[in-house]
Amino acid sequence: MIEAELKARVHNPEYVMGQLDRKAEGRAEVYRDTYYDDPSGTLDARDQELRVRTIHGPNSTRSVLTYKSARIDAESGSKPEHETRVDNPEAVHAMLGGLGYVPAIVFQKRCRNYEFSSRGRSLLATLVQVPEIEGTFLEIETMVQEESELSAALADVRSVMGELGIHEGDFTTELYTDAVAERRASDARATPPV
């Protein structure tokens, strides 16, 4: 499966949330993401991702293991994705460690998720705030089977984004992992040694 996803900075979160609330009921969740790599950073160098995500919702907690291949569309950052639910995330963390992977970065995302259909596609829209990054982001994704379907899927996602008040200059391919790492490095440089 390929995740056809676009991401944008949101300048008016209340407006976008109001528009999404008309499409579906929002679900507030907190994600704890642990990205793994080998000590030499091979996965990052190959633009691959290996992640354990634990999702804390109002009534339940669930975890998923995700592997993403290198991006196949530079403009959107869309990647082939393989994901499975895991019943015991602690065991998965131990397995990855046993295979030589180490946590490359761990951070939280505060999300409000909306699932709805538009243009014949099942969509997931997520309003995202990362405590270490300023601002609010909107991600909208749909899954496609083949790379040949990606362009049409992204066009549909872009249209839905436009309906929600997102403009061309709002789109970004910046990764949360990179932004969080940069913020932490900046904070470390600003903190005088003890």
- Region 152-162: what's the mean pLDDT? 97
Residue 135 CA to its chain's centroid (Å): 15
Q: Quick check: 97 pLDDT over 70?
A: yes
Cα distance between residue 59 and residue 24, in whole Å:
18
pLDDT of residue 192: 74
Q: What's the total number of domains in the chain?
A: 1
**Residue 107 corresponds to which tokens in the numbers above?**
């951070």
H-helix or E-strand containing 6? strand 2-10
pLDDT of residue 106: 98
Q: Quick check: 45 pLDDT over 80?
A: yes
- Region 11-40: what's the mean pLDDT? 97
Inter-CA distances, 167 with 18, 128, 170, Å: 17, 17, 5
> Containing domain of residue 44, as a range?
2-190
Q: What pLDDT digit, counting tens, does each position of 62-95 carry?
A: 999 999 999 999 889 999 999 999 999 999 999 9
- Mean pLDDT across the chain: 96
Query: What is the percentage of the chain residues whose pLDDT exceeds 90?
Result: 95
Residue 160, φ and ψ in degrees, nearest 5: -65, -40
Query: What is the percentage of the chain residues whose pLDDT exceeds 70?
Result: 99
Q: Which residues pair with 143 in a beta bridge?
A: 3
pLDDT of residue 4: 95
Q: Is the pTM of this model over 0.75?
A: yes
- Region 97-110: what's the mean pLDDT? 98
Among 132, 116, 104, 157, residue whose Cα is nearest residue 27:
116
Q: 61, 55 in Cβ contact below 8 A?
A: yes
pLDDT of residue 191: 78
Instruction: Give the confidence band of 194 by pLDDT, cuts at 50, 70, 90.
Output: low
Neighbouring CB atoms inside 10 A of 176's CB total 20
- Region 162-189: what's the mean pLDDT? 94
At 1, which amino acid appears? M
Q: Quick check: 137 pLDDT over 90?
A: yes
CATH number reported for the structural domain that contains residue 48 in this entry: 2.40.320.10
- Region 135-164: what's the mean pLDDT? 96
Among 186, 176, 33, residue whose Cα is nearest residue 106:
33
Neighbouring CB atoms inside 10 A of 84's CB total 10
